[in-house]
Amino acid sequence: MTEYLTHGHDVLVIGAGGAGLRAAAEASAAGARVAVISKSLLGKAHTVMAEGGIAAALANVDERDSWRVHFADTMRGGQYLNSWRMAELHAKEAPACVRELEAWGAVFDRTPDGRILQRNFGGHRYPRLAHVGDRTGLEMIRTLQDHDIHLGMDVFMEYTVVTLLKDGARIAGAFGYDRERGRFHVFRAKAVVLATGGIGRAYKITSNSWEYTGDGHSLAYHAGAALMDMEFVQFHPTGMIWPPSVRGILVTEGVRGEGGVLRNKDGRRFMFDDIPAAYANQTADTDEEGWRYTQGDKNARRPPELLTRDHVARCIRREVKEGRGSPHGGVFLDIAWIKERIPNAAEHIKRKLPSMYHQFKQLADIDITQEPMEVGPTTHYMMGGVRVDPDSQMSDVPGLFAAGECGAGLHGANRLGGNSLSDLLVFGRRAGQYAALYANENSLGAVNPDEVALAEKHALAPFERDNGEGPYAVQYALQDMMQDLVGIVRQEKEMSQALDLIQQLKVRAERVGVTGNREYNPGWHTAIDLNNLLTVSEMVAKAALERQESRGAHFRDDYPSKDNNFGSFNIVIRKNPRGEMQIMREPIPPMPLELKQIIEEMK
Ligand SMILES: Cc1cc2nc3c(=O)[nH]c(=O)nc-3n(C[C@H](O)[C@H](O)[C@H](O)COP(=O)(O)OP(=O)(O)OC[C@H]3O[C@@H](n4cnc5c(N)ncnc54)[C@H](O)[C@@H]3O)c2cc1C
């Protein structure tokens, strides 16, 4: 076998975002020898972009909050396709995880009496998001990174994993390359935690970072793990839409949490026009009540702008489609109006939403303290991912764990804002704990040299194709196609067409060529990422075709209603022994009576 640079660890964590860093901390604290691999530099993982906050029922701002309310909110938001066990664990454990982060040095915003401040967010009944202005992800990453470094672990920055390695059925490690020099490395490990984030770069308009090419989803699929809920891609209602160069960049829900309202071109506050029945009891009747809610009045109900993201995104789309949109094809989000209500509104907005203020000032020359923003839906979050055991986070492949956005279960058909950062902490911790346990009970698996040689050959093939098409052309074609045919509103004809086009794009991807050498060669990196993007796009389109109803983030023009028959199972995908993508419907396990009662009580 060719000599590769080879590394050996108990637990290998792929990904240095919130989930990966939290998993690494736990595994290391348990005594495991840990390595963390990241495509980007340490501190630059996508989590750093998170803005609004971490959802946890600390009840610091409203004492009526509890894990029970958080559990019921998460299940309602996910339209009851969530893993109820994950939703239960998440709601119960998130407060302790936030306090732990505070103990490790995170400097949260404070209530007047010095406790962690919490803000309103869509779908959460009470103010629940612990935050640091609108830069919560940065603080999370900074804190976890400091903590991890002191625990001691090996960090491989700017390394990309291209395949997982197996010994029979179980995991044996991973194979990848360093982006700086283009050298290949074998990472042997007793347990592997996937924490690779989402898939947003499969779409043209997205809030997601360049890292989001669905690597973990694709690595797990090819290693034989089952994936679940791949039809549920969240389109956040408020991304920037103008100028074109910034299209898709997120405008945090925190703007609406602080009193921002949505208006169409006629100045009408259209969100009052359509309130879903499941939220009617919890939604304000008037502008006045909605405003009071954002200012902490416990007797007021939340404004319709804080309904779940799927619903708000569809309302915006309706306004645009029916000719009431803003000049660049979105609607207006107005926080400047609060100057009618509070003194020093401009200073207040700058203090509460510093990143939003700078983002619009610098990128669009808009002063959000004085004028409305133009916004529209943007691909934001992947609810679907690797199916895991709710308690341990282990996938179907022994020794392979998954946590964070590349895992599935917690969010069901739609994620509530803030529930991702808490997901990273709760299930990152669990994945690290159980991966260390697994490593303790198992030895290193053997690495198959043929498997490694094949992966290397495939990775280097684009250099052999002198006249091959450039990888970016294929990537852009895929992104345009997913945006148009498997986007926010779907139908059978278009998705079938998408699946045909994906097959054609796969053929093109196998023929792409790159020039130059292996040192920091972005064309080469893109050629490799393409395989992952195509695999996840196919999974999304197939699962979306299978779900013949509209639920949560998945909306079908040809099946516009929710169908109870589709509420009893998750759509699961795996590679069958013939190497084909197989779709299955897997029944949701029955929910224990006490959890059912909580949901009933909270209706
Ligand atoms: C603008 C924005 C704002 C957001 N705000 C909030 C918020 O306020 N609250 C909230 O709850 N959620 C928020 N989210 C969502 C949340 O930030 C993400 O879901 C979450 O950070 C994902 O964390 P993760 O640890 O799963 O993955 P990431 O933080 O994305 O980390 C993935 C890691 O995997 C690495 N990686 C990927 N592929 C490979 C590979 N092949 N080889 C090696 N390494 C690899 C990457 O380099 C990276 O280190 C926001 C998202 C965006 C885009």
Task: Give the 3-state DSSP-derived string for 367-406, with helices as H, strands as E and coil as C.
Answer: CCCCCCEEEEEEEEEECCEECCCCCCCECCCCCEEECHHH
Task: Kindly report the average pLDDT of the chain as a whole number.
Answer: 96
Q: Pairing relation of β-strands 184-194 and 5-14?
A: parallel
Q: For residue 389, is pLDDT > 70?
A: yes
- For ligand 1, atom 10, name the residue with the nearest CA: 418
Say how far residue 303 (Cα) sits from the centre of its chain.
25
Residue range 463-489: average pLDDT? 95
Helix (H) or strand (E) holding 143, with range, is helix 136-151
Cα-to-centroid distance, 355 and ligand 1 (Å): 18
Average pLDDT rounded to a whole number, residues 493-509: 98
Query: Is the distance from the beta carbon of residue 207 to the nearest atom of ligand 1 less than 6 Å?
Result: yes
d(CA 256, CA 305): 6
Q: Is the CB of 374 under 6 A from ligand 1?
A: no
Q: How far is the CA of 558 from the centre of ligand 1 (A)?
A: 33
162 lines ligand 1 (CB under 6 A): no
Give the Cα separation of 192 and 49 in Å (integer): 25
> Mind listing the pLDDT tens digit for each residue in 82-130?
999 999 999 999 999 999 999 999 999 999 999 999 999 889 999 999 9
Q: Give nearest CA residue, ligand 1 atom 27.
A: 197
Q: Dihedral angle at the C-alpha atoms of 273, 278, 282, 284, nearest 10 degrees?
A: 10
Closest atom of ligand 1 relative to the 422 alpha carbon: 11
pLDDT given at position 278: 86
Tokens of 153: 């672990």
pLDDT tens digit sequence for 43-55: 999 999 998 899 9
Integer Cα distance of 18 and 434 in angstroms: 17
The number of the ligand 1 atom at minimal distance from the alpha carbon of 198 is: 30
Q: What pLDDT is recorded for position 466?
A: 86
Residue type, 8: G
Provide CB contacts within 8 A for 180, sequence distance 6+.
158, 519, 520
pLDDT in tens, 314-351: 999 999 999 999 999 999 999 999 999 999 999 999 99
Read off the pLDDT of residues 18-73 as tens digits, 9 standing for 90 and up: 999 999 999 999 999 999 999 999 999 999 999 889 999 999 999 999 999 999 99
Radius of gyration of the chain from its Cα atoms, rounded to whole angstroms? 23
Mean pLDDT of 525-529: 97
Atom of ligand 1 nearest to the CA of 44: 49
For residue 462, report the distance from its CA to the centre of ligand 1, in Å.
28
The residue type of 547 is R
Question: Would you state the pLDDT for residue 1?
Answer: 52
By CB atoms closer than 10 A (0-12, 13-18, 19+), residue 523 is middle
Locate the ligand 1 atom nearest the alpha carbon of residue 253 and give its number: 8
Q: Is the CB–ligand 1 distance for residue 404 below 6 Å?
A: yes
How confident is residue 2, by pLDDT bands cut at 50, 70 and 90? low
d(CA 55, CA 62): 13
Q: Residue 473 has which token pair?
A: 């052309």
135, 143, 159, 196, best to mutate for ligand 1 pocket (most atoms within 8 Å of CB)? 196
Query: 44: Cβ–Cβ under 8 A, 6 or more apart, which residues?
Result: none
Residue length of the chain: 603
Active site residues: 236, 256
Q: How sure is the predictor about 134, in pLDDT bands with cuts at 50, 70 and 90?
A: confident
Give the phi and the psi of residue 400 in degrees, each rounded to 5: -105, 120
The label of the residue with tokens 């250099």 reads: 463
Question: In testing the pocket of ligand 1, which one of 12, 37, 47 has its CB within 8 Å of the most ligand atoms?
Answer: 47
Atom of ligand 1 nearest to the CA of 196: 34
Average pLDDT over residues 212-218: 97
pLDDT for 259-313, tens place per residue?
Answer: 999 999 999 999 999 999 989 999 999 999 999 999 989 999 999 999 988 899 9
In single-letter form, the type of residue at position 234 comes to Q
Q: Give dist(CA 188, CA 434) in Å, integer.
A: 18
Query: Residue 406's pLDDT band (boundaries 50, 70, 90)?
Result: very high
The arithmetic mean of pLDDT across residues 555-559, rounded, is 95
Question: What is the share, in percent, of the chain residues with pLDDT greater than 90?
Answer: 94
Tokens of 357: 């203020």
